[in-house]
Structure 1
Amino acid sequence: MIDVFSLASGALGIVNPATTVTVKCSDGYEIQPDGSPKLKTFTLTAQADIQAVSAGDLEHVASINQQADMRAVYIRGGLKGLSRPLHVGGDLLNFYGSDWLVTQPVEEWGYGEWSKVIVTRQTAAPSPM
C-alpha cells in the first residue's frame, strides 16, 4: 500500500515542518473502590502537521458554537474525539506550550494509519517574561 502520509509530509515539510507533539490518549476508565470512574490514559510522542482551520473544517464544528483557538492536525495514528458509547476519546495533544483537546475527528485513512482532527486550545501558553 502507498504510504500517503509520508509522501504528503515530505512535500509539505519544506513549507511547514512537522511539530513534535505529546499525545495523551484516553484508554477508557476503571471503577475506583468508592464507585467513581477514573480515566485511564497512555502517553506517546509523535510528529504532526499543524495548520490553521480551513472554512471547510469549520463546517464540521459549526454546531459547537464557540469562540476558541482551533487548529487542524494531521498525525500518524487514529486520534479520537469523545465517544461515550465506546468509552474513548478526549485525547489531548500538547504543542506550542499548551494542551489541545481533540474536539472533532475530520478524516481517518485506513484503520488508524493517519488522521486529521480539529483541536481546541485548553490551556494558555506560558507568558514570555
Structure 2
Amino acid sequence: MNLHGLVRGAITTVNPDIPAQMMVSTGQYTTDAAGHRTPSYSTQDVTLQLQPLSYTDLMKVDGLNLQGVIKSAYVNGNFEGVNRPNQKGGDYLLIPSKNEKWLITQPLEEWPDWCKFVVTLQVNT
C-alpha cells in the first residue's frame, strides 16, 4: 500500500509537485582521446517534492560531511542511491524548469512505490 500516495494530495496543495527527470547511472562510460571518462545515464520522467531536511534527517546524515545546498526529495518510483555491492550510484535529479541538477547523496527511505533521498545541489558547468 502506498501510504505516501494517500497524503500526496494534501501535500501538493502547500508544496506543488515539480516535474523532473531521474538520471540513473547505467554503469557504462565512454572514454575520449585524452582518457577522460563520461558516464552514461538512462533518463526517466518523474514528479518530485523538494523539502527542507527534518531534524531526524539531519541526524541520519550527520557525519557525512555534506556541504552546500542539501534538501530531501520525495520521488514516485523505486530508485536507489549509492549501492556499492550492486555497483549502483551517481544518480541525479534534473529539474529543467529551474535549470538545477541534484546529486542523490543518501537514500533515506526506499519503498516499492516511492522513495526519499538527501540531494545536494550541483554547480552547472
Task: Indicate conservation of the 8 Å contact 2:80/2:110, yes or no.
Answer: no
Find the counterpart in structure 2 of residue 25 from structure 1. Answer: 24
Q: How many residues align?
A: 120
Q: Identity over the aligned pairs, expressed in percent?
A: 32
Once the two structures are TM-superposed, the CA of residue 59 in structure 1 deviates from its matched residue by 1.5
Find the counterpart in structure 2 of residue 10 from structure 1. Answer: 9
TM-score, length-scaled by structure 2: 0.82
Once the two structures are TM-superposed, the CA of residue 83 in structure 1 deviates from its matched residue by 2.4
Distance 1:123 1:10 in 2: 32
Distance 1:31 1:15 in 2: 43
Structure 1 unaligned segments of length 5 or more: list them.
125-129
1:60 and 2:72 correspond: no
Q: Which stretches of structure 1, 4 residues or more, deviate above 3 A after TM superposition?
A: 36-40
Correspondence 1:76-91 to 2 at 5 A: 76-91=76-91
Higher helix share: 2
Once the two structures are TM-superposed, the CA of residue 71 in structure 1 deviates from its matched residue by 0.9
Distance 2:117 2:88 in 1: 15
Find the counterpart in structure 1 of residue 43 from structure 2. Answer: 43
Once the two structures are TM-superposed, the CA of residue 46 in structure 1 deviates from its matched residue by 0.8
Structure 2 unaligned segments of length 5 or more: list them.
none
Distance 1:30 1:63 in 2: 31
Once the two structures are TM-superposed, the CA of residue 37 in structure 1 deviates from its matched residue by 7.1
